[in-house]
Amino acid sequence: MRRYETFIILDPDLSVEQRLPVIERVKDILSHMGGFLIRIDEWGSRKLAYTVAKKERGYYVRFDFGGTGQLVNEMERFFRIDERVLKHMSVLLDPSPNIEKIKEEMAKAEAEAQAQAQKPAETAPAAPVEAAAAAESQPTDSAEIQQEA
């Protein structure tokens, strides 16, 4: 098993409900072909370097996963067929990754994400006080703003 990274650029005019099936289909392909998903990064809409299918922007998604060459071929076949995908590119990151170490890193990242999600709930009352203090230190009069410039 090898570690791969695949970038796809989706049509930026798609809604969230139209983008989600593409991501779900990739997850299905990974599970059916014996791969495992390490991480999905949605970078969002960004300007393209050149026009693709008369589009100036694209919605970028990065998949980090472990699998075989056949899995990558199946994913790329799906990307070529689906009209929602403007471009795709797969890169081999590691020809012989340590699967156990990757799974440990995934578990650690998930635990940190859960801790991060609980942390703002505990500090939520302090946030409005900090925001009010920051607002007081900002000049509100246009004359004051011009003097600072």
The string of pLDDT tens digits covering residues 42-98 is 999 999 999 999 999 999 999 999 999 999 999 999 999 999 999 999 999 999 888
DSSP, residue by residue, 69-125: HHHHHHHHHHHHH-TTEEEEEEEEEESS--HHHHHHHHHHHHHHHHHHHHHHHHHTT
Kindly state whether residue 145 falls inside one of the protein's structural domains: no
What is the number of structural domains in the chain? 2
| Domain range for 31 | 2-97
- Which pTM was predicted? 0.73
For the chain, report the end-to-end CA distance as a whole number of angstroms: 59
Same domain, 14 and 66: yes
Residue 123's pLDDT band (cuts 50, 70, 90):
low
Kindly state whether residue 142 falls inside one of the protein's structural domains: no
Backbone angles phi, psi at 20, to 5 degrees: -55, -40
Same domain, 57 and 109: no
**Interior/surface letters 55-75, b for 16+ CB within 10 angstroms, e for the rest:** eebbbbbebbbbbeeebbebb
| Residue closest to 53 by CA, chosen among 84, 23, 81, 22 | 84
Tokens of 84: 């929602």
